[in-house]
Amino acid sequence: MTGFALETRNLVKRYGRRRVLDGFTLAVPRGAVLGLVGANGAGKTTWMMTVAGLLRPASGTIDMLGCGPFDAAVHAGRFALLPQDSELPLEATPMGLFYRFGRLQGLSSETARRSACDVLKAVNLADRAKSSIRSLSHGMRTRVRVAQCFLGNPELVLLDEPLNGLDPLEADRLRRFLRARAGKQTIVISSHNLHDVEQLCTHVAFVENGRVVRMDTLNALTHGRSLESVFLEQAGVGGSAGRLAPPCDSAERLVAKLKERGLTCATAESCTGGGVGSAITAVPGSSAVFLGGVISYANEVKRDVLGVPQDVLDTHGAVSSECAERMAAGVRNLLKADLAVSLTGIAGPDGGSAEKPVGLVWFGLATKDGVHTEKMIFGGDRASVRAQAVTHALGLLHSAAGGSPTPSSKL
């Protein structure tokens, strides 16, 4: 079982000549609440519908809950979807419909009834359980649509604009309900309301032109700034050149934190070719905290300079948890740093495989307590993957230095 509840790689969906999904690569960590943020038509809804098996992709791979692409016979009851702009049968009652949905998900008669009551109570509709959906207001119908996603507590829930059309009181109630699920279920929320995303999500992915251009933990992405300003900056800069620009804010915050804590750091980089070191040294005064880095692009450098054993390279390959671990430990020992981060990955466009796709980056973080590794799969082109990897590495160092913890790193 992987650490991801959902992984899509290079997903392509075409409507005629238009590529609505254009190599959509995203990995959603288990237990995360991930916000999908992007302009209208960016491909968020299409991605959700494709993942749910409702739309047929032209190419790409989907792995849902470690069981391959969506198959109702396998995933029914483990996965739920709130489709955008889709009505429930107007003649049905919420209670009657939820009972049937529960039974279809494999719940026993009694459990289905109880689960239906629970979710209706959670969205404050217990008193309308036996009214026809036709008789409910727009906001009530939205709550019913959201509630059906949580019948039987599925492991993975995709919500497309769940808070649209709700009054402030009910929106707040639903936010609290969703926040309470964090960690217990993996939830992906597509929303244009960045305030909601900030309040609800642990991770955020920016979607542009049918692909993920940036994905990280909310803290690593914002570093205390508003998500809206980060999003606008992303949208305003646009293009791979913009995404290549060093993440100055992340580096500045990291340097400040290291100075504050009196710590030093070092880097061992492969696919980013010194990008992390470059971002840190772009900050004035970074010499006080940054000892140096090793650009170990070739396996020989990994082996001879950082001490990665040849059998690790032969058995697991250079892009592996084991290699990232040895790289981080190696550079920390070599430069006598308090913290060291390593990166080894496949930035593309070539070199990927089914097992190790383009966008896969393994991170290692060495501290006095040991070495932790983490896998990420980034979307976008080579420049985008490298930029996201740099930002993520800075986030890891920041959290290890005592900054805001990043849920994905669990450090």
Partner 1 sequence: MRSLMRIVQTALCEWENALRSRRALVLLLLYLASAVLCMNGTISALGKMEQELVRVLKLPDSGQTGVVSETLWKSKSFRSMVAASVDDRLVFEDISKRHPVELLYAWFAFLCAPILVVLVSGTRVADDLRTGVARYMLVRVTRLEWTLGKYAGQALMIASALAVSAVGAWCVAFWRLPAETATRLFPAMLGWGASALFYSLAWLGLALGLSHLTRSGMRATAFGILAIGACSVLPHFFPSIELFVPSGARMGLWRTSFTPQAVAVFHLVTLGLVYLMAGAAVFARRDA
Binding region for partner 1 (CB under 8 A): 49, 52-56, 70-73, 75-77, 79-81, 83, 85-89, 91-92, 96-97, 100-101, 103-106, 132, 148
Residue 2 or residue 86: which is nearer to partner 1 going by CB?
Answer: 86
| CB of 89 vs partner 1, minimal distance in Å | 5
Instruction: Tell me how far apart the alpha carbons of residues 49 and 46 are, in angstroms, rounded to a whole number.
Output: 5
Under 8 Å CB-to-CB from 22, ≥6 apart: which residues? 12, 43, 209, 210, 211
Alpha carbons within 13 angstroms on the beta-carbon side of residue 390 total 24
3-state secondary structure of 175: helix
Question: CB under 8 Å to 298, separation ≥6 — which residues?
Answer: none
CB of 277 to partner 1, least distance (A): 46
For the bound state, the minimum distance from the C-beta of residue 158 to partner 1, rounded and expressed in Å, comes to: 9
Helices (H), 262-381: 275-281, 299-304, 310-316, 321-335
Residue number with CB closer to partner 1 (83 or 307): 83
Integer CA distances (angstroms), 373 to 9, 114, 325, in order: 21, 42, 6
Residue for token digits 């993440």? Answer: 247
CB of 207 to partner 1, least distance (A): 20
Min dist. Cβ of residue 171 to partner 1 (A): 22
Q: How far is the CB of 163 from partner 1 (least distance, A)?
A: 18
Q: Which is nearer to partner 1, 87 or 172 (CB)?
A: 87
End-to-end CA distance of the chain: 21
Report H helices in 83-181.
94-104, 109-122, 138-147, 168-181
DSSP state of 277: H
Q: What three-state secondary structure class fits 129?
A: coil
Nearer to partner 1, 78 or 261 (CB): 78
Q: How far apart (Å, rounded) are the C-alpha atoms in residues 152 and 149?
A: 9
* Closer residue to partner 1 (CB): 57 or 359: 57
Residue 88 or 383 with smaller CB distance to partner 1: 88
Least distance in Å: CB of 290 to partner 1? 49
> How is residue 245 annotated by DSSP?
S
Which C-beta is closer to partner 1: that of 14 or that of 259? Answer: 14
